[in-house]
Chain A
Amino acid sequence: MALELRNVTKRVGAIEHIKDTSLLLEPGHFNVLLGATGSGKTSLIKLMAGLDPMASGQVLMEGEDVSQLSTQKRNISLVHQFFINYPHMTVYDNIASPLKVAGMAKSEIEDRVAEAAKILQLEPMLQRRPHELSGGQQQRCALARAIAKESRAVFLDEPLANLDYKLREELRDQLPELFAGRGAVVVYATSEPEEALLLGGKTALMRDGHVTQFGPTAEIYRNPENLDAARVFSDPPINTATVIKEGTTARLGSRVSWQLSGDAAGLSDGPYSIAIRPYHVLPTASPKASVRLAGQVQVTELSGSESSAHFDLGLGKTSGSELHANWVSLSAGVHPYEIGEMHDFYMDPSACYFFAPDGSRAA
C-alpha cells in the first residue's frame, strides 16, 4: 500500500490553498506533515481523505486512482485534534462503528475491538460513554477506532495538540509502535518540529500550501534544501547572515572573512545567505572552529550540560551605518559569560549552509 499525490491543487474561490503538490507516502514509518498553522496540513489531509474536492491532480492508493472515489469508499481513518467520538454510543460501539457499517460478522468485530482496546488500554471503559472519559482516554478511543478498522491509510491531524504535556509524551512514545507492522500509510500532521524528530520516519515540510522539502526527517535536518527547511529543526534558532563571495573568499561584513573550500568554493560570485547551527559557533577555537567572530554577549542560558550565549555580532560599517546580526552559540559544558562583555566566538566554516538570494540551497 502506498498513497501517492500527483500534482494536487486545491482552490477556494480565487485562492490556491494547496499549490501543485506531489508526494509518495509509504507504509512502515510515519509520514509527518510539518508546518505552521495555516500552512495547509489539514487541507492536504482532507484532499487525501476525499473530504474536500481537488481543483486538479490525482490521489492514488496502491497505484489505483481514487480521486473520484467518495470518502466512504476509500477505506481510511482520521483522528482529529478534537476528540471525535459518537457521544451517544459506548466506547465499544464507537470502536466498532466502522466495522458495523462495513457489515462485518459480529464475532470478528468483537475480536478486533478487543484487540484495539487492549493495545490502547481501554478495556475497563468499553461500556462507558465518551463524556465519562478523560481527554486522553477519549483520544485513545478515537485511535482505537482507527486501529480496529485496519484501514489502508490513517490520518492523524495533530492528535496530541489538545492533550496535556504528560499524556502527550506518553501517547507520542506509543504511537509509532501502535501502527508498526499494520501496513497502513500513516500521515501525521503537526506544527511542532520536535514531534517530527521524535517520531522519526519521513517529513514533508509545508509552507503556504506547498511542500518545501520531503524526505527522511534526519536527512532534512542534515541537508536542508532551502533556508526555511534549515530554520525548522533548530532550537535555539539557526544563525543567519548575508555574505559576499569573491573568488574563494567569503566576506561577512567588513571584519570577518574566510577561505572557501568544497562546494561553496565553486559558486559564482555574489551575495549569499548563510545559515549555521548554534553548536557550530563555539566560545573556544579548535582546528575546525577556526573563524573568529567578536560579539557582545546579551543573554546567556546555562543548563547543567550546555551553555548558550546570544550575542550581537557587529558586522562593521556599510555605507555609513553599523550592521548587526543576532547570533547564538551553543557549547557543551558550562561557560562563564558576562552580559555586555565582548567575547570571541569561533565558527566552523565547513558547517555553513549557503543559500541563493531566492532561499534555495546553493552549497
Chain B
Amino acid sequence: MKTENQKAWFFVLPVLVLVAFNALIPMMTVVNYSVQETFGDNVFFWQGLDWFEQILRSERFHAALGRQFLFTFLILIIEVPLGIIIALSMPRKGFWVPVCLVTMALPMLIPWNVVGAMWNIFTLPDIGLLGYFLNHVLGISYDMTQNPLAAWVTIVTMDVWHWTSLVVLLSYAGLVSIPDAYYQAAKIDGASNWAVFRFIQLPKMKTVLTIAILLRFMDSFNIYTEPFVLTGGGPGNSTTLLSIDLVKIALGQFDLGPAAAMSLIYFAITLLVSWLFYTLMTKDDLN
C-alpha cells in the first residue's frame, strides 16, 4: 500500500529557489518596469499595457526586428550547410583529426568584443588588411562605415567566421558516431553519396544539428557585442539589431518602461521561435 504525501516538494525546492533567484526575480523586476512609468527616486506610475502597445506599433521596433530576422536567417542559411560540408570533409581518423579539431575550435575561443575589434581593424579601408586589399588592390569600393551593404557583409562574414565551428564540431560528433557497418550496408544497397548523406548521415546528425541550429538561433538573435563593437549599429541604423536598439532605448534615452516592454517582447519571440523549432524537429521521435 502506498501512502500519498507531499514530501517530494522538498526535493524540488532547491531547484525552485535557484531558478527564482537567477531567472524569475530578475525578470519580475523587468515586468515591474514594463507596466509603470518612473522618473527615478523609486516613484512609479501605473501605465498598464501602454508601453507594449507603443513598442508593437513602433516603426523603429519593426525595422529592428526585421533586421534581426534577416541577420539570423542569413547566418543560419550560411553556417548550417557550410558547417555540415566542413564536418563531412574532415578526416575521421589519423594524425589530422586533432589538428582539424583545434583549428576549428580556435575562433570560438576568442572573446566576443575582441572578435568585433579584430574585424573592425581588419576591414578598415586604409589600414585594415582586408579593407586595404579590397579598396587599393582589387579596386572594389568597400567601406563598412559608409556603405550599409558593406556593413552587412562584414557582420555576417564575421559571425560566420566566429560561429560556423560550432556547427562543424557538433555535426562532426554526430558523424563519427556512425559505425562503418552502416556505410557498408549503404554501399551494398547501391546508395550514391547523396543517398548516404540523406538517409544515413543526416538522420544520425539530426539530434546534434537540432541543438546546433537552436544554439545558433538563440545566440544570433540575441547578438550584441560583436556588431556593437564592429559597426555600432551604423551606418545610420542599417545594422541596428534588436539588442543594440534595446540598449539605445534603455541606456541612451533612459526610457526604462518601453525598454522593459521591449525586452519582454524580445524574450517572448526568442522563446516562441525556439519552442516551435524544437517541437517540430523532435515531433517524429516522440511518436
| Residues B215-266 near A (CB distance < 8 A) | none
| Residues B21-68 near A (CB distance < 8 A) | none
| Residues A77-108 near B (CB distance < 8 A) | 77-78, 80, 82, 84, 86-89, 97-98, 101-102
Cα A97 to Cα B186 with chains together (Å):
9
Cα A76 to Cα B195 with chains together (Å):
18
Cα A102 to Cα B195 with chains together (Å):
11
Cα A138 to Cα B99 with chains together (Å):
39
The answer to whether A78 and B190 have CB atoms under 8 Å apart is no
Partner of A101, one of B182, B184, B191, B206: B191
> What residues on B are CB-neighbors of A87 within 8 Å?
203
Partner of B190, one of A75, A84, A89: A75
Cα A145 to Cα B182 with chains together (Å):
14
The answer to whether B181 and A82 have CB atoms under 8 Å apart is yes
The answer to whether B190 and A98 have CB atoms under 8 Å apart is yes
The answer to whether A72 and B199 have CB atoms under 8 Å apart is no
> What residues on B are CB-neighbors of A73 within 8 Å?
190
> What residues on A are CB-neighbors of B206 within 8 Å?
88
Cβ-closest chain B residue relative to A93: B199
> What residues on A are CB-neighbors of B182 within 8 Å?
84, 86
> What residues on A are CB-neighbors of B187 within 8 Å?
50-51, 70-72
Q: A86-B199, A88-B203 are in contact. Are A71 and B181 (CB under 8 A)?
A: no
15 A-B pairs in the complex with CB atoms less than 8 angstroms apart: A49-B188, A50-B187, A71-B184, A71-B187, A72-B187, A72-B190, A77-B188, A78-B188, A84-B182, A84-B184, A84-B185, A86-B200, A98-B189, A102-B190, A149-B189
Q: Give chain B nearest CB distance to A47 CB in angstroms.
A: 13
The answer to whether A72 and B184 have CB atoms under 8 Å apart is no
Residue from B190, B195, B199, B200 with most neighbouring chain A CB atoms (10 Å): B190
- Asked if B3 is an interface residue, CB under 8 A from chain A, the answer is no
Closest 8 CB pairs of A and B: A98-B189, A71-B187, A88-B203, A72-B190, A84-B181, A84-B185, A78-B188, A101-B190
Q: Give chain A nearest CB distance to B205 CB in angstroms.
A: 11
Cα A139 to Cα B120 with chains together (Å):
60
Cβ-closest chain B residue relative to A51: B184
- Asked if B103 is an interface residue, CB under 8 A from chain A, the answer is no
Cα A145 to Cα B181 with chains together (Å):
15
The answer to whether B191 and A72 have CB atoms under 8 Å apart is yes
| Residues B74-126 near A (CB distance < 8 A) | none
- Asked if B6 is an interface residue, CB under 8 A from chain A, the answer is no
Cα A149 to Cα B185 with chains together (Å):
13
- Asked if B5 is an interface residue, CB under 8 A from chain A, the answer is no
Cα A50 to Cα B195 with chains together (Å):
19
Binding site for B on A (CB under 8 A): 49-51, 70-73, 75-78, 80, 82, 84, 86-89, 97-98, 101-102, 145, 149
Q: Give chain A nearest CB distance to B198 CB in angstroms.
A: 11
Q: A86-B199, A86-B200 are in contact. Are A72 and B192 (CB under 8 A)?
A: yes
The answer to whether A80 and B190 have CB atoms under 8 Å apart is no
Cα A86 to Cα B200 with chains together (Å):
7
Q: Give chain A nearest CB distance to B236 CB in angstroms.
A: 49
> What residues on A are CB-neighbors of B195 within 8 Å?
101
| Residues B159-205 near A (CB distance < 8 A) | 181-182, 184-185, 187-192, 195, 199-200, 203
> What residues on A are CB-neighbors of B203 within 8 Å?
86-88
The answer to whether B200 and A78 have CB atoms under 8 Å apart is no
> What residues on B are CB-neighbors of A149 within 8 Å?
189
Q: Give chain B nearest CB distance to A78 CB in angstroms.
A: 5
Cα A86 to Cα B182 with chains together (Å):
8
> What residues on A are CB-neighbors of B184 within 8 Å?
49, 51, 71, 78, 84
> What residues on B are CB-neighbors of A82 within 8 Å?
181
Q: A82-B181, A86-B182 are in contact. Are A97 and B199 (CB under 8 A)?
A: yes
Partner of A97, one of B181, B189, B192: B189
Residue from B182, B187, B206 with most neighbouring chain A CB atoms (10 Å): B187
Cα A173 to Cα B185 with chains together (Å):
25
Q: Give chain B nearest CB distance to A287 CB in angstroms.
A: 57
> What residues on B are CB-neighbors of A102 within 8 Å?
190
Q: A80-B181, A84-B182 are in contact. Are A71 and B188 (CB under 8 A)?
A: yes
> What residues on A are CB-neighbors of B190 within 8 Å?
72-73, 75, 98, 101-102
> What residues on B are CB-neighbors of A76 within 8 Å?
188
Cα A50 to Cα B199 with chains together (Å):
21
> What residues on B are CB-neighbors of A70 within 8 Å?
187
Cβ-closest chain A residue relative to B200: A86
> What residues on B are CB-neighbors of A77 within 8 Å?
188
Cβ-closest chain B residue relative to A78: B188
Cα A84 to Cα B190 with chains together (Å):
15
Q: Give chain B nearest CB distance to A213 CB in angstroms.
A: 29
Q: Give chain A nearest CB distance to B44 CB in angstroms.
A: 55
Cβ-closest chain A residue relative to B284: A88
Q: Give chain A nearest CB distance to B207 CB in angstroms.
A: 11
Q: Give chain B nearest CB distance to A307 CB in angstroms.
A: 46
Cα A215 to Cα B192 with chains together (Å):
37
Cα A80 to Cα B180 with chains together (Å):
12
Cβ-closest chain B residue relative to A149: B189
> What residues on B are CB-neighbors of A49 within 8 Å?
184, 188
> What residues on B are CB-neighbors of A50 within 8 Å?
187
Q: Give chain A nearest CB distance to B12 CB in angstroms.
A: 32
Residue from B184, B189, B192 with most neighbouring chain A CB atoms (10 Å): B189
Cβ-closest chain A residue relative to B187: A71
The answer to whether B181 and A101 have CB atoms under 8 Å apart is no
15 more A-B residue pairs beyond the given contacts A78-B184, A88-B203, with a C-beta to C-beta distance below 8 A: A49-B188, A50-B187, A51-B187, A70-B187, A72-B190, A73-B190, A77-B188, A84-B181, A84-B182, A86-B185, A86-B200, A87-B203, A97-B189, A98-B188, A149-B189
Cβ-closest chain B residue relative to A102: B190
Residue from B184, B192, B206 with most neighbouring chain A CB atoms (10 Å): B184
Cα A230 to Cα B32 with chains together (Å):
91
> What residues on A are CB-neighbors of B188 within 8 Å?
49, 51, 71, 76-78, 98
